[in-house]
């Protein structure tokens, strides 16, 4: 089953809606609590990044009997140094974003921690694609 | 065990309007055949529908004073929210003495139970074995909410019994010592600010049987003792709980008693849901303790109370008779106050037992929802178009329940009838076949 979400880059109050909606679906499917948690945390982090760094984008989530694959696409500035971005506490978030309580530098580290696989394709100046896989 | 719910419907008063279905935090109400119907598995007894119903058709089942007669010795256990119900009364002793005057043999404050739970909580936090953020287990509506909507957060809940159960255990022990009677001759009565507590007595989740025998609403007790409390001089000195325990009636009281630094106190079911979502997203892992209370302002805002919750909250803070110092409890064996059972998730959101079937249902729900007007008007009896789509797929409703869908069908039907009517003797199109 495929789910598609549009993610606004300007509406911070709506940040997290896609993951919230998808979480509900997982519960309706009766997936175990640890899977719901892994998806909830990694997807939420990716969604927030799409909002605060990517300037909005899209999210496509696919559920099969073996895995959940969620990809986030944006046309934002891209990630200059992935190794640095993977470090806990490192963030390029602007002051405005930090004032809203985001930008703690835990986004990518948490995705790596909670997803079973994390793939990042990024081109500076063009955008980023993040693919999270959670095995069932 | 048959599942008991305190929140029930008075069929005669129900108009079948959409107020309660829209307000219910677990989408547990539908209007069917012009009357509201509570879906038992989903209801968490929070009492939101009682508050919103303009016709007072939703009510909480509580016990009557007649039940006192069943026991040789009765103990009233007032929730601390009772203390703030009376204007110009700043001495808890007056309220407790009044309870004895209306027929209870003794009193035991639930606030003392709160102090026991607080001490046990502090000890447990010290061990450092609990998953953060630790979620309070004091509000039974929140426990049921987590069970229904956030089963993955069960592991974060503090596995200590409620102040009511802790108080009841102590009250019973004390009463047996004092009277020499058998346990079954002693009736413990909780004076309840909310229906969720009543349900937790009649149908407990975390133990086989509650230590409490009956539940009487704060409102019913208020009616009986109001005048006594106001005219009483020289009350008996019965109050034993300090400000720490009594403060549990207000949002933030429990948080303070945990002695944690990083904690949040959240009240009101809508805010509670938002915070649980955040905990689920891993956003609040740096917080030590989360107090969650379903009613606005905490238990002072319970649906079975009388006084405005803000006023009640202020009165409790200003109770002069309360000792502001936390009294350390001697010889506390916190293992007595642990849950007797684990909290099992309620799979009421799950669409089917097996994954494939659930997936098929989800796809059908999406398809049906796509054709809906998405006005969430509630006229069909479900709280939203999405909920109706789920009901249709689960076989509890049909597309004709949607009045917009129905109108569309009627319009199409009318058009068909019109077409039929306009050509009663065959069509006017020229028949080109040779005569």
* Distance of residue A41 Cα from the nearest chain B Cα, in angstroms: 4
**Does residue B324 sit in the same domain as residue B364?**
no
**Does residue B387 sit in the same domain as residue B270?**
no
Question: Which pLDDT band, with edges at 50, 70 and 90, does B397 fall under?
Answer: very high
**Does residue B162 sit in the same domain as residue B296?**
yes
**Does residue B276 sit in the same domain as residue B190?**
yes
* Domain count for chain B: 3
On chain B, the residues whose CB falls within 8 A of the CB of A31 are 355
Mean pLDDT value of segment B28-46: 93
Domain containing A21 — which CATH number? 3.30.565.10
**Does residue B52 sit in the same domain as residue B78?**
no
Q: Are B313 and B297 in contact (CB under 8 A)?
A: yes
What's the pLDDT at B362? 94
Q: Using omega within 30 degrees of 0 as the cis cutoff, is the peptide bond preceding B133 cis?
A: yes
pLDDT above 90 for B3: no
Q: Are B48 and B27 in contact (CB under 8 A)?
A: no
Check CB contact of B226 with chain A, cutoff 8 Å.
no
Question: Which pLDDT band, with edges at 50, 70 and 90, does A80 fall under?
Answer: confident
Note the ipTM here: 0.81
Q: Would you say residue B13 lies in a domain?
A: yes
CB spacing of B349 vs A28 below 8 angstroms: yes
Give the closest of A19, A25, A65 to B281, CB-based: A19
**Does residue B173 sit in the same domain as residue B36?**
no
pLDDT tens-digit readout, B38-64: 999 899 999 999 999 999 999 999 999
What's the pLDDT at B321? 65
Task: Give chain B's mean pLDDT.
Answer: 92
Domain containing B44 — which CATH number? 3.30.70.20
Q: Which residues contact B48 (CB under 8 A, 6 or more apart)?
A: B20, B23, B24, B25, B269
Q: Would you say residue B427 lies in a domain?
A: no
CB spacing of A29 vs B355 below 8 angstroms: yes
What's the pLDDT at A96? 73
Helical axes B218-231 vs B92-101, angle rounded to 10°:
110
Provide the H-helix boundaries in B300-402: 309-317, 355-370, 385-393
* Domain count for chain A: 1
**Does residue B210 sit in the same domain as residue B256?**
yes
Mean pLDDT value of segment B288-306: 96
Q: Which residues contact B208 (CB under 8 A, 6 or more apart)?
A: B340, B341
Helices and strands, counts by H and E, chain B: 15, 11
pLDDT tens-digit readout, A45-57: 999 989 888 888 9
**Does residue B393 sit in the same domain as residue B409?**
yes
User: Which tops the pLDDT comparison, B373 or A91?
Assistant: B373
Return the closest-CA partner of residue B21 out of B57, B56, B53. Answer: B53
What's the pLDDT at B1? 45
**Does residue B54 sit in the same domain as residue B73?**
no
pLDDT tens-digit readout, B117-135: 999 999 999 998 898 999 9
**Does residue B101 sit in the same domain as residue B169?**
yes
Q: Would you say residue B288 lies in a domain?
A: yes
* Distance of residue B390 Cα from the nearest chain A Cα, in angstroms: 10
On chain A, the residues whose CB falls within 8 A of the CB of B149 are 27
On chain A, the residues whose CB falls within 8 A of the CB of B359 are 1, 29, 63
| Antiparallel, parallel or unpaired: β A117-123 and A127-135 | antiparallel
**Does residue B139 sit in the same domain as residue B284?**
yes
Where in the sequence is the domain holding B54, given as residue range(s)? 7-60
pLDDT above 90 for B422: no
CB spacing of A36 vs B352 below 8 angstroms: no
CB spacing of A28 vs B277 below 8 angstroms: no
pLDDT above 80 for A95: no
Mean pLDDT value of segment B213-224: 96
In eight-state DSSP terms, residue B291 is E
Mean pLDDT value of segment B346-352: 88
Q: Would you say residue B428 lies in a domain?
A: no
User: What is the C-alpha end-to-end distance of chain A, expressed in Å?
Assistant: 14
pLDDT above 60 for B383: yes
What's the pLDDT at B118? 94
pLDDT exceeding 90 applies to what percent of chain B?
Answer: 82
pLDDT exceeding 70 applies to what percent of chain B?
Answer: 96
CB spacing of B282 vs A65 below 8 angstroms: no
Q: Would you say residue B342 lies in a domain?
A: no
User: Can you tell me the distance from the alpha carbon of B431 to that of B435, in angstroms, rounded to the nearest whole number?
Assistant: 9
**Does residue B49 sit in the same domain as residue B69?**
no
Q: Chain B: residue nearest A40 by CA? A: B281
Return the closest-CA partner of residue B105 out of B214, B184, B179. Answer: B179
Where in the sequence is the domain holding A60, given as residue range(s)? 2-135
CB spacing of B151 vs A27 below 8 angstroms: yes
Sheet containing A127-135: give its strands across.
Answer: A2-7, A57-63, A67-74, A127-135, A117-123
pLDDT above 80 for B177: yes
């Amino acid at each position: 089953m495929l789910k598609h979400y549009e993610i606004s880059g300007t509406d911070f109050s709506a940040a997290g809606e896609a993951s919230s909606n998808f979480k509900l679906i997982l519960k309706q499917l009766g997936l175990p609590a640890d899977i719901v948690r892994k998806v909830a945390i990694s997807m939420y982090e990716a969604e927030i990044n799409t909002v605060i760094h990517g300037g909005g984008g899209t999210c496509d989530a696919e559920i099969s009997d073996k895995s959940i694959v969620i990809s986030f696409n944006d046309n934002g500035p891209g990630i200059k140094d992935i190794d640095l971005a993977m470090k806990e506490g490192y963030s390029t978030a602007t002051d405005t974003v930090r004032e809203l309580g985001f930008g703690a530098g835990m986004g990518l580290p948490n995705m790596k921690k909670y997803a079973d696989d994390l793939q990042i394709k990024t081109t500076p100046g063009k955008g980023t694609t993040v693919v999270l896989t959670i095995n069932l | 065990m048959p599942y008991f719910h305190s929140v029930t419907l008075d069929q005669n008063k129900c108009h079948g309007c959409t107020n309660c279905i829209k307000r219910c935090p677990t989408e547990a109400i539908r209007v069917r055949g012009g009357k509201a119907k509570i879906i038992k598995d989903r209801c968490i007894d929070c009492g939101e529908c009682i508050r919103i119903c303009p016709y007072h058709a939703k009510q909480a089942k509580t016990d009557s004073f007649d039940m006192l007669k069943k026991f040789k010795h009765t103990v009233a256990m007032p929730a601390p929210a009772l203390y703030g119900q009376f204007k110009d009364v700043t001495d808890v002793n007056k309220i407790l003495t009044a309870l004895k005057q209306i027929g209870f043999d003794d009193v035991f404050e639930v606030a003392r139970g709160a102090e026991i739970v607080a001490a046990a909580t502090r000890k447990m936090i010290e061990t450092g074995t609990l998953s953060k953020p630790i979620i309070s287990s004091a509000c039974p509506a929140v426990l049921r909410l987590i069970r229904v909507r956030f089963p993955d957060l069960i592991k974060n809940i503090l596995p200590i019994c409620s102040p009511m159960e802790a108080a009841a255990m102590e009250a019973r022990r004390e009463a047996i010592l004092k009277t020499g009677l058998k346990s079954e001759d002693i009736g413990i009565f909780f004076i309840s600010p909310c229906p969720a507590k009543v349900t937790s007595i009649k149908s407990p989740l975390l133990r086989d049987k509650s230590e409490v025998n009956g539940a009487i609403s704060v409102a019913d007790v208020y009616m009986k003792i109001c005048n006594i409390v106001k005219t009483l001089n020289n009350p008996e000195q019965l109050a034993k709980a300090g400000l720490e325990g009594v403060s549990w009636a207000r949002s933030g009281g429990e948080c303070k008693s945990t002695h944690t630094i990083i904690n949040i106190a959240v009240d009101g079911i809508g805010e509670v849901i938002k915070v649980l979502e955040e905990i689920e997203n891993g956003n609040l892992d740096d917080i030590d303790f989360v107090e969650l209370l379903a009613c606005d302002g905490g238990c002072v805002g319970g649906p079975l109370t009388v006084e405005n919750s803000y006023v009640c909250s202020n009165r409790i803070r200003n109770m002069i008779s309360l000792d502001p110092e936390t009294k350390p409890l001697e010889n506390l064996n916190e293992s007595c106050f642990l849950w007797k059972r684990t909290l099992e998730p309620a799979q009421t959101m799950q669409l089917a037992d097996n994954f494939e079937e659930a997936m098929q249902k989800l796809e059908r729900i999406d398809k049906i929802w796509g054709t809906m007007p998405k006005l969430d008007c509630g006229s069909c009896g479900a709280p939203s178009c999405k909920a109706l789509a789920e009901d249709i797929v689960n076989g509890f409703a049909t597309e004709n329940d949607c009045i917009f869908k129905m109108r569309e069908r009627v319009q199409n039907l009318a058009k068909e009838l019109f077409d039929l009517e306009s050509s009663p003797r065959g069509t006017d199109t020229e028949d080109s076949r040779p005569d």
